[in-house]
Amino acid sequence: MIRYDLTFDAYVDRLASQNDAFRRTVCLDAPGDPALKGHLLVSDTVQAMGPAFMRSCLEAVGRFDSFPRDADPEGYRNCGSVEVEDRTVWFRIVLSDADDPGTDRNGNPVDTYRILHILFSTDWLDW
């Protein structure tokens, strides 16, 4: 079993690095760590914009790397927004325990399952 006896700062750095790698793997089809499990969930309204818009969203989210402290105070690099064709698109990575959805074991890739949500701000109330 892998031990995760980390200081809080090391834990945040590891989690941020894993979230970046997962986002690039899912959105850009980049090689990634096979231990990082999860899937992509895109709102119906984003999908309704068509395949070209979806490709642009995935490209923008996959390449996103601006996480200012005021927008990401915990430093987890798990959410943000991008502009695609004059529309603001939100993304968020939600973590849960791979065996017990709804709980999470942040930082241990063997036990953690990630869901990358991509949506418009107006979709937030519908989810």
Phi and psi at residue 71, to the nearest 5°:
-95, -20
Residue 30's CB is within 10 A of a number of other CB atoms, namely 11
DSSP codes, 61-108: HHH-----TTT-TT----EEEEEETTEEEEEEEEEEETTBTT---TT-
Q: What is the pLDDT of residues 68-77, one digit of tens each?
A: 888 888 999 9
Q: Is residue 83 part of a domain?
A: yes
Is 61 a member of any domain?
yes
Structural domain of 18: 8-122
What is the pLDDT averaged over residues 40-62? 97
Q: Is 55 helix (H, G, I), strand (E, B) or coil?
A: helix
Cα–Cα distance list, 71 to 74, 77, 99, 115 (Å): 9, 9, 30, 20
Query: Alpha-carbon distance 86 to 99, whole Å?
Result: 39
Q: Of residues 40 and 105, which shows the higher confidence score?
A: 40
Average pLDDT estimate for 2-17: 77
Give pLDDT, residue 33. Answer: 83
Residue 51 forms part of a structural domain = yes
Res 107: pLDDT: 61
pLDDT at 21: 94
Residue 2 in domain: no
Is the pLDDT assigned to residue 5 strictly greater than 80? no
pTM of the full predicted structure? Answer: 0.86
User: Is 73 contained in some domain?
Assistant: yes
Q: Is residue 127 part of a domain?
A: no
Q: How many domains does the chain have?
A: 1
